[in-house]
Amino acid sequence: MRSCRLSVAADMADVRLAESALDPVAEIAAFNAKHSTSGGIVTFLGQVREGGGIEALELKHYGPMTLPGMTELARITQSRWPLEGLLIVHRSGVMVPGDPIVLVAAAARHRRDAFAAADFAMDHLKSESWFWKREKTAEGWSWIEPREQDHDDLARWR
């Protein structure tokens, strides 16, 4: 199914909010092809974990702020590392175990910049972007609050 996506082109960064299924294999292939001169590409895929009684996961976003915030995050990421390309795709909506949630890819001349940029973008997507997450188990839906670890992860960049 063709997914309906909102997108913003922010000077070489490709930042999208995906409201239906995200295809990481196709996304990564397209990104790699577009950055064939980059020596290092780091990709990170976050997916809905299997087990723990989780039947579904829902991510909600807020139209006026979520994509603009992701675009700003991409801009900051690009200003901190010399990247040749950056891709951020984040799901919104209901997902089931095994479904991709977020994909980040960073292309750089050298691998360390690509690793650091992808790591930085992920830490900020987890705990500083405008998403709200809830899980469904046999007992029903419950909201997930950020973990202490997420804030510690973020503090590493300050």
Partner 1 sequence: MPKLIFLGRLEDVAGTSELAVAKGPLEQILATLDPTLAVQLLGEKVRMALNGMLITDMGGIALGEGDELAFLPPVSGG
Q: At 48, give phi and psi (nearest 5°).
A: -70, 120
Which CB atom, from 53 or from 64, has the smaller least distance to partner 1? Answer: 64
Report how far residue 49's alpha carbon sits from residue 100's, in angstroms, rounded to the nearest whole number.
Answer: 10
Query: Pick from 64, 138, 139, 156: which binds partner 1 (CB under 8 A)?
Result: 64
**98 touching partner 1, by CB under 8 A:** no
x/- map, 33-52, partner 1, by CB under 8 A: -------------x------
The reply on whether position 118 binds partner 1 by CB under 8 A is no
Tokens 């040749």 correspond to: 84
Q: What angle do CA 123, 7, 69 make, to 5 degrees?
A: 40
Residue 130 in contact with partner 1, rule: CB under 8 A: yes
Host H or E run for residue 88: strand 83-91
Phi and psi, residue 153, nearest 5°: -60, -45
Residue 16 or 90: which CB sits closer to partner 1? 90
**Position among 22, 41, 85, 90 found at the interface with partner 1 (CB under 8 A):** 90
Helices 111-128, 148-155: axis angle to 10 degrees equals 140
Please select the residue that binds partner 1; options are 62, 109, 112, 152, rule is CB under 8 A.
62
List the structure tokens of 145. 């609050």
Q: Given the rule CB under 8 A, which residues bind partner 1?
A: 46, 59-60, 62, 64-65, 68, 90, 101-102, 122, 125-134, 143-146, 150
